[in-house]
Amino acid sequence: MQGFDLATPTTVDEAVALLAREGSLAIAGGTDLLPNIKHELFEPRTVVALGGIEELRGIELESDGTLSIGATTTLAHVAAHDEVRCRATALAQAASLVAGPQLRTMGTLGGNVLLDTRCQWYNQSYFWRQSLGFCLKKDGSVCHVIESGSKCVAAASNDTAAPLLTLDAELEFASNTGRRRLPIAELYKSDGVANLRKEPGELLVRVRIPALETGRERLGAYGKLRERGSIDFPLLGVAVRLDVVDDRIVHAALGAIALQARPLALQKAAAALIDAPASGPGFDDAVLACAAAAARQLHPVANVPGDAQWRKEMAPVYVRETVRAARAGTGPVHGR
Amino acid sequence: MASSIVELKVNGDTVEVAAPDHFTLLEVLRYRLGLTGSKQGCDKGDCGACTVLVDGEPVLACLTLARLAVGHEVTTIEGLMPAHLRAGGTGADPVQEAFDRCGALQCGFCQPGMMLSARALLDREPNPSRAAIKGALSGNLCRCTGYTQIIEAVETAIAASTERAPDGGSR
Ligand SMILES: Cc1cc2nc3c(=O)[nH]c(=O)nc-3n(C[C@H](O)[C@H](O)[C@H](O)COP(=O)(O)OP(=O)(O)OC[C@H]3O[C@@H](n4cnc5c(N)ncnc54)[C@H](O)[C@@H]3O)c2cc1C
Ligand code: SF4
Ligand code: FES
Ligand code: FES
């Protein structure tokens, strides 16, 4: 691995001062950063470790019911935490399916939210990429997915982004010029080279999930398509949120990842569920209409491994099963 | 690029090694301390061959910067039997004995990581279900065995531990 200096700040102020310097990158769990450095995709001069900063840790329930999760909270902790499982079920389920056990013990929620986009032509060694003449995300000028394309379509592959979208999560960033809060829906853009509306020196401090309106029951589930039952990145990820009052769905949201550079909000699919009964034949019909609407919006391309046609055909299946799981209080939905 | 003296706690011993900042825990274990039990498989998080325990939890040494392991207890496969003996046991760790008895290996490359993942599971949960065993080992790939004997080995280790428990503990 290419050399770098390691800095170990203990406060947010120290960290943002270090991150403001040219060539600095943050390391939380390091489970994406280090493979990317090894593949010579990232070439930092200084790596700033976040593990020693107290403010970035832990899960708290604020007095107004907001769930506040520190950026360096591990995915294993998010997946197992009772308040997360109850108030943000799809998030807990998504975290429980990221990679394998060791990587969930190491990997953090912040690192997941800010994960670099992935592509089978990009997440490769320098030697491998060089043999193909590189690509426009790094070191080259062509795209191997959309030939003649001028835009990178590497996929947002972070499982937690989909549930966080459906839960209207808000992100708190710190930099050497102050702090700001950003709705997660505004974080991502559709450019695979750099899909984050975030300055290089900005540090993600906490992720907040707003409280549910009183009188509503919030249901959620996550579905993940992948080749093996463990370790693999998603070939498709679907998060579902249903808010229910008196057996009627008063609000629904669906999010999908591993399609394009931006995690997608599936508004038409969600609209098919809103105002539908939450049980009986009315619910069953709404679920099928939702899955059909999702299928019209989801167009996998050959950016991540796995046959794109298979991913396309599985999309309505995963949407259908994940909505059903949310209603039944089961899930996550995944192959093996 | 900066280098420093890194003070690590490995298998109960405090050791000091000089290493550049970008060295992983795996590189320090293998190339500075000569502890080659932790395997360098993919070196990028895919295979689990480099699994070690940090404060009792399985992590990937190939994706852990050595300096960030300072202040934590690192256990490698070399430390498993000594820890078992220190705790009053005899012979190798029951997990090691069981892997041996069940023939749960061919080339052996995945075994150190497998056994450490299994040891951490049994420390957390002495009598796990088969699904829990599969889950705990799901970050460790084996190219040889087909996994069946590996799962049987963990179940054998559980049986051995529970049998021995009444007369003085299993490890
Ligand atoms: C084999 C393998 C399988 C994987 N499978 C999956 C999978 O199925 N699903 C999935 O979603 N991910 C997967 N991952 C990727 C990764 O493990 C997770 O996404 C993890 O959550 C990343 O978190 P981290 O803390 O390790 O991030 P890091 O690697 O530390 O950081 C990731 C990026 O975020 C930046 N960063 C991190 N924290 C902050 C912060 N607080 N403020 C500012 N910048 C920050 C870093 O600079 C870096 O650019 C896999 C990785 C491997 C190696
Ligand atoms: S989609 Fe893949 S091949 Fe195309 S530019 Fe992006 S990373 Fe490169
Ligand atoms: S060598 Fe660390 S996971 Fe393969
Ligand atoms: S015994 Fe060869 S990899 Fe498992």
Q: What are the boundaries of each domain within chain B?
A: 3-76, 80-167
Q: Is domain A1-49 classified as CATH 3.30.43.10?
A: yes
Q: Is domain B3-76 classified as CATH 3.10.20.30?
A: yes
* pLDDT attached to residue A213: 86
- Interface residue B40 vs chain A (CB under 8 A): no
Residue B168: is its pLDDT beyond 50? Answer: no
Residue B165: is its pLDDT beyond 60? Answer: no
- Interface contact B45-A35, CB threshold 8 A: yes
Taking only the tens place, the pLDDT of each residue in B2-54 is: 999 999 999 999 999 999 999 999 999 999 999 999 999 999 999 999 999 99
Taking only the tens place, the pLDDT of each residue in B83-110 is: 999 999 999 999 999 999 999 999 999 9
Output the CA–CA distances (angstroms, integers) from residue A47 to A19, A33, A220, A232, B80, in the order listed: 9, 10, 37, 26, 33
CA distance B136 to chain A (A): 7
Residue B169: is its pLDDT beyond 80? Answer: no
Nearest to A100 by CA among B50, B75, B77: B50
* pLDDT attached to residue A79: 98
Checking ipTM against 0.85, whether it exceeds it is yes
Residue A191 Cα, ligand 3 centroid: separation in angstroms?
Answer: 30
Nearest to B12 by CA among B64, B61, B84: B84
Chain A residues touching B43 at Cβ < 8 A? 38
Cβ contact A124:A77 at 8 Å: no
Name residues whose C-beta falls within 8 Å of residue A219's C-beta, 6 or more positions apart in sequence: A89, A240, A241, A242, A243, A244, A326, A327, A329
Two domains, one topology: B3-76 and B80-167: no
* pLDDT attached to residue A336: 58
* pLDDT attached to residue A67: 98
Cβ contact B89:B45 at 8 Å: no
Best of A145, A146, A191, A304 for a ligand 2 pocket test (most atoms within 8 Å of beta carbon): A145
**pTM beyond 0.90:** yes
What SS3 class is residue B17?
Answer: strand
- Enclosing H/E stretch for A286: helix A280-297
Output the CA–CA distances (angstroms, integers) from residue A18 to A9, A22, A116, A142, in the order listed: 8, 9, 21, 34
Phi, psi of A31 (to 5 degrees): -80, -10
Q: Is domain B80-167 classified as CATH 1.10.150.120?
A: yes
Name residues whose C-beta falls within 8 Å of residue A310's C-beta, 6 or more positions apart in sequence: none
Which CATH number describes the domain made up of A217-331? Answer: 3.30.390.50
Name residues whose C-beta falls within 8 Å of residue B14's C-beta, 6 or more positions apart in sequence: B7, B8
Residue B171: is its pLDDT beyond 60? Answer: no
Q: Prior bond to A332 cis, omega within 30?
A: yes
Mean pLDDT of B104-128: 97
pLDDT in tens, chain A (336 residues): 999 999 999 999 999 999 999 999 999 999 999 999 999 999 999 999 999 999 999 999 999 999 999 999 999 999 999 999 999 999 999 999 999 999 999 999 999 999 999 999 999 999 999 999 999 999 999 999 998 888 999 999 999 999 999 999 999 999 999 999 999 999 999 999 999 999 999 999 999 999 988 899 999 999 999 999 999 999 999 999 999 999 999 999 999 999 999 999 999 999 999 999 999 999 999 999 999 999 999 999 999 999 999 999 999 999 999 999 999 999 999 985
* pLDDT attached to residue A241: 98
Question: Which residue intervals of chain A bear CATH 3.30.390.50?
Answer: 217-331
How far, in Å, CA of B86 to CA of B96, rounded? Answer: 16
